Each structure stands twice: as C-alpha cells, then as structure tokens.
Amino acid sequence: MIKRQEDQEPLPLNEFENRVEKPPTVRNYKSLAYSDIDPARWREYTDIKLDSLWIFDSREKGNGHSFDYHGNYIPQIATQLFTRYTKQGDIVLDLFLGSGTTAIEALNRGRRCIGVELKPELVEHVRGKIPDESLDREIFALQGDSTDPQTAERVRQVLGDLGESHAQLLILHPPYWDIISFSQNPSDISNAESLEDFLDGFARVAKNGFDLLEPGRFAGLIIGDKYSSGELIPLGFLTMQVMTDTGFKLKSIVVKNIEGNEIGKGRTNNLWRYRALAGGFYLFKHEYVIIFEKPS
C-alpha cells in the first residue's frame, strides 16, 4: 500500500540537506583553455546567454556597427561568441566577411581578426572602417575565394606573420543559397545553380576553415532556411551535416529571432502573410547559430 504524501514521516534535517542538489564548490571549477571566463564567478555573467533561444529586439548600432549592407549578421551574435569562446588577443577567422561585423566586433573586444571576402569593393569598404593603427596589424581583410585552397594559404601566411599557426575561432555566415545574389561572380556560392552545388561550395569553405582552426577550439555557423517552389529547404541542417562530415563535433544549436536584422517590409508583409496562409507554410522568424568544436 502506497502512503499518501501527508502520511510519510518527515526526513531528518541532515538527510534532507544531503538530498538537496547543491551548487559545486569553487574547488570543483576549472579554468577554460579557450575563454577568459572564470567559471567560479558564474553568477556575475548575466550578459552571457546560456540558453538555446536568443531574442534580440533590435540590431545593435554604434561602436563602428551599422546596417549598411544586406545580409550581415547582428553584432550581438559576435559579442556572445567572442566572449564565450575566445580570449583577449585570440584570432577570429571569418571566411564570409561581408561588411565586417566580425572584424569590427573583434576590434571592440580586443581580439584579432582575419576576414576573407570575395567582392573587392566590399573588402575596401571594410578596410575603410578600421582605424589605420589596427589595419593590417590586428585586423586583416583579404580579398579572395574562400572555397579555394590558395586563399587558405594566404590566411596561413597572415597567421604566420602574427606568430600563430591557427586561428582560435571560426565564424561562417554564408549566403542562404540564392535568397540574395551577392555578386555576379560564378565562384560566389549564392549563384550556385543547384542545392548540391551550393553545399559542395560550402563544404570546400568548411574544409579550409577546419584546417585553419586550432584543435580544441570552436566554430560558429550562422544560417537560416529557405523556401523554393513551395518546399522548405533546411539549409541550417544541411550545412550542419556538412560541418560534421568535415570533422567538426556538434556542440549546440541556438535559435535566434531575426526581427533585429530586418528592414521593415511595410505592405509587402501583408502579402507574405496571405501567401503563407494560402500556401500552407509559415514565415521565417528565426535563424540558427550552430556551435561546433574541432576535436583536439
């Protein structure tokens, strides 16, 4: 016969205390090889997001950041990843530099950065944002095709000049296939003629990134999905599979809202709501920040 809860004898105080889960004592904490975070001071890090849902009401502006180019990711993602996975002075490698969010936030956070961008005019645009005293010293913006092994060799040369053999954090924010065509260059994976071609191009970038990243360090992939001909194309999961096939170990999948990175759609928003209702699908309000680790 099962006793009702109110019929059970209360536990002695010492036994009750032993059953209550307690936070680990300071002596159980260990320093992190990849971050300046001190786990023993975990209560103080209220600005670090530790859950898998990131909500940002708006895009951060100032400190060198501006929404001056379509498709760039919001600075708050860089802030979270740099704080969590790098130390002061570490090198962040971005193989889809775009308008320079990674480079600017690296400078703001006391990190170094090597960024690769395919479009020459965009490289010059980024270089114009970086103070002269930091350009080509702490912050490097290289023009090149990140799918090309020769571009990886140029990155290695810069790493060598900085006294390093590898970068300490990899950032990948690729095009969401053909949602936006970023250039007329056939090497641009936003111009890939098929999903297979897009994933093949991304796989070559991932391979270069894997080789250039220090073992035991982390990579952040920022990407969303798309619709095509009434079908959902899960770019996030497909590129995640490419990363694991390359040799990365999957650590976390974060879902982030995208309102903070949109320009107001105005009346077209109602059109999309109609299309979603009539077509049986849902409007994207999220993208992914997927975290990987390169095995030691």
Report the greatest alpha carbon distance in the chain.
80
Q: Residue 6 pLDDT more than 70? A: no
Distances (CA, A) of 39 to 21, 32, 64, 259: 18, 8, 30, 32
Residue at 109: amino acid letter? R
- Which residues partner with 95 through β-bridges? none
d(CA 76, CA 34): 20
What mean pLDDT comes out for the span 53-70? 73
Q: What class has domain 47-293?
A: alpha beta
Q: Is the dihedral of CA 47, 53, 58, 60 positive or negative?
A: positive
pLDDT at 2: 43
Cα–Cα distances (Å) from 188 to 88, 119, 192, 199, 263, in that order, read 33, 9, 7, 12, 24
Q: What is the pLDDT of residues 95-129, one digit of tens each?
A: 999 999 999 999 999 999 999 999 999 999 999 99
Full-model pTM: 0.87
- Percent of the chain predicted with pLDDT > 70: 83
> Residue 292 forms beta bridges with which residues?
219, 250
**Structure confidence at residue 3 as a pLDDT band (50, 70, 90):** very low
- Burial of 54-80, coded b for 16+ CB within 10 Å and e otherwise, reads bebeebbeeebbbeeeebbbbbbbbbb
* Joined tokens for residue 207: 């391979």
Please state the domain extents for the chain: 47-293
Query: What average pLDDT does the segment 56-79 reach?
Result: 76
Please tell me the distance from the alpha carbon of residue 93 to that of residue 159, in angstroms, as a whole number.
10
- Please give the structure tokens belonging to residue 169: 């954090």
CB 174 within 8 A of CB 201: no
Tokens of 123: 């490289």
Q: What are 61-70's contacts with CB under 8 Å, separation 24+? A: 63/104, 63/108, 64/104, 64/107, 64/108, 64/129, 65/101, 65/104, 65/105, 67/261, 67/263, 68/99, 69/98, 69/99, 69/122, 69/125, 70/180
